[in-house]
Amino acid sequence: MANTQLKVSTLKSFNVAIRDTRTQEYLMQVLGTKKSEFVANLISVVSGNEALQKCEPMSLVFTAMKATALNLPIEPSLGKAAIIPFNDTKAGVVKAQFQVMRDGWVELLQRSGQVQFIANEPVHEGELVKKNKFTGEYVFDESQRKSDKIIGYMAYIRLNNGFEKTVYWTVEEINAHATRYSQTFKKGYGLWVDNYDAMALKTVLKHLIKKYAPTSVAVINKAMELDYSTFDSENKDRAQYLDNPQDEFAEAEEVTTDEKKEKLRKQPKETPNLP
């Protein structure tokens, strides 16, 4: 099969699109007084990123608006939210993808007013002192570190009502998860390559939030819906998930711990009913 030739945009085409009268009217209608700040921020981010300049212009606009809906800044240096270029070979264009970053998830949790404490750290060799598979409790001690080798990533929350939970994934579990759910990881480019630690920390924290954080917080539910989404002129209000077409946390129990691998291995395979 021949490779699809992508239609690549330029900074000039983006500037034309963002300043178009119809675009400006739409942004004013949706954003009101926030329009000018939104346009200035988006122009600044796109102007400083050659990869984003290749994205279909309106995809950048509609995707960036989702960050505004969550009140998360898209400036890369802040680490709250990001716009990532994604090659949509089926459509033949480069589209903008929205991602809530690790610090963005922390901010959303803090905003909820229901979280007392959050921890989200890499775990080095020797720091995992004890694990109780029956209670899900972990004991970490950084003074026991044996080397700088990272063996996994942890996330912990304690709510105001006293509930607390720790999630820990090994590097192998992180990689298995990324291989299953991220096209860019499998192809060896994107944030998983550029900033592996941040993506690994985000992944385990997002899993913890999805399964154990208060589900009554509307903004967190909205962030779950928008993470890894793309939008364009034909789908400005309907999210597409090009890099991650499946819900990576729809079934939280799919995380491949050694115990679960062994359990699955021992389960008998179903025999299909033959005609």
Assess contact for 7 and 13: CB atoms under 8 A: no
Q: What is the pLDDT of residue 80?
A: 95
Q: Give the SS3 label for residue 50.
A: coil
Label residue 2 by pLDDT band (50, 70, 90): very low
Give the helix ranges, DSSP H, for the chain.
Answer: 11-19, 21-31, 35-47, 57-69, 102-112, 171-181, 183-187, 191-194, 196-212, 218-226, 258-266
- What number is the average pLDDT over the span 41-46? 96
Assess contact for 78 and 103: CB atoms under 8 A: yes
Assess contact for 63 and 229: CB atoms under 8 A: yes
Read off the pTM: 0.81
pLDDT at 252 over 60: no
Q: What is the pLDDT of residue 242?
A: 78
Report how far residue 220's alpha carbon sits from residue 109's, in angstroms, rounded to the nearest whole number: 8
- When the pLDDT of each residue in the chain is averaged and rounded to a whole number, the result is 86
Site of tokens 């996330």: 155
pLDDT at 267 over 60: no
pLDDT at 255 over 90: no
Assess contact for 89 and 102: CB atoms under 8 A: no
- What number is the average pLDDT over the span 222-240? 84
pLDDT digits (tens, 9 = 90+) for 158-171: 999 999 999 999 99
Site of tokens 């154990």: 212
pLDDT digits (tens, 9 = 90+) for 98-132: 999 999 999 999 998 999 999 999 999 999 999 99
Q: What is the pLDDT of residue 117?
A: 95
Report how far residue 63's alpha carbon sits from residue 241's, in angstroms, rounded to the nearest whole number: 12
pLDDT digits (tens, 9 = 90+) for 50-101: 999 999 999 999 999 999 999 999 998 999 999 999 988 888 999 999 999 9
User: Residue 13: what residue type?
Assistant: S
- What number is the average pLDDT over the span 254-261? 43
CA distances from 144 to 103, 249, 273 (A): 27, 32, 55
- What number is the average pLDDT over the span 176-195? 88
Report how far residue 53's alpha carbon sits from residue 98's, in angstroms, rounded to the nearest whole number: 15
